[in-house]
Structure 1
Amino acid sequence: MATGTRVRGPAALAIIGRIFLVLGLGGLAVAVYFAGNEWRGRHTATASARIVAIGKLPAMEFTMADGSVIRFTNNVRSSSWQVGDNVAIAYDPGNPSDAVVDGFAGRWFPAGLAGLLGGAFLILGVVLTVIGRRTQRGGTR
């Protein structure tokens, strides 16, 4: 059996705060990565796609300049979309089936979500660390 002392009270709060700090910084790093990929990304061409089916995820089609029709399944869904609606999209000219809805939800949601969660963890980590350290010192200042 391993012997040792358990960390309790303010010391544990400071340790948990540091863990949240690391998670927050990691979340912000992921957000920067996602945003950088989208900013300089491959979705450089735009078109108008028509919704052809709505299931768990909507299926969309658009016509390229050469007349070829591209069909893709989109990862974004809206309750206001109906079959036949037109939606602005952005796609990779080298791989047209790699298309996304051209808007915040389609292009920036992953970066925004990672940034929001990372920021929340970072703030919580700072607060917990400060409270834990102040309490360890024997009071607040």
Structure 2
Amino acid sequence: MARVTGVRALPIVGLVFLGLGLLGLIGAGVLGLLELRSNRQAQADGVIIGFDNGPEVEFTTSQGTTAQFRSPVRSTSFARGDHLAVAYDPADPSDAAVDGFAGRWFLPGLFAIIFGVFLVMGAVLSLVGNILIGRGRPAQR
């Protein structure tokens, strides 16, 4: 098998990037659908009670039960005692998240941005590689 180098490798690398981009965008869509279909429909006011691998948030459910969760979203603007909107599943208050873009949509958004860049780069590499390869061929009569 011959080794592909130089300009001839661009379309191959581009296809790899396109494939990764498509897989990642599918993953972003799945994460977005999971969030859309989650049962976190109830809302409460939460308070940051500490920090240990992310803010620890405590809130009181509509039934009067106190619940806590650790948010994976970290920010330098969070401080102990800050109030945050919380979305939670009334049947399972431990299934909770900070109610906002960062708390609920950060991961699907991050996947979409990163893998969208992969998709665009793959398309550009494939296109540029095919154009450059075409220019290197002798003209046919």
Q: State the TM-score, normalizing by the size of structure 1.
A: 0.90
Q: Paired residue for 2:85, among 72, 85, 88?
A: 88
* Aligned: 1:16 with 2:13: yes
Q: Larger deviation: 110-119 or 74-83? A: 74-83
Unaligned residue ranges in structure 2 (runs of 5+): 137-141
Distance in structure 1 (CA, Å) of the matches to 2:7 and 2:29: 33
Distance in structure 2 (CA, Å) of the matches to 1:98 and 1:57: 16
CA RMSD of aligned residues (A): 1.3
Q: What secondary structure, in the 3-state scheme, does the structure 2 residue paired with 1:138 have?
A: helix
Unaligned residue ranges in structure 1 (runs of 5+): none
Residue 101 of structure 1 and its aligned partner are, at CA, apart by 0.6
Q: Paired residue for 2:29, among 32, 36, 39?
A: 32
What percentage of aligned pairs have identical amino acids?
Answer: 44
Moved over 3 A (4+): none
Distance in structure 2 (CA, Å) of the matches to 1:44 and 1:66: 14
Aligned match of 2:139: none
Q: State the TM-score, normalizing by the size of structure 2.
A: 0.90
Q: Is the 8 A contact 2:35 2:104 kept in 1?
A: yes
Distance in structure 1 (CA, Å) of the matches to 2:118 and 2:61: 43
* Aligned: 1:60 with 2:57: yes
Distance in structure 1 (CA, Å) of the matches to 2:5 and 2:73: 45
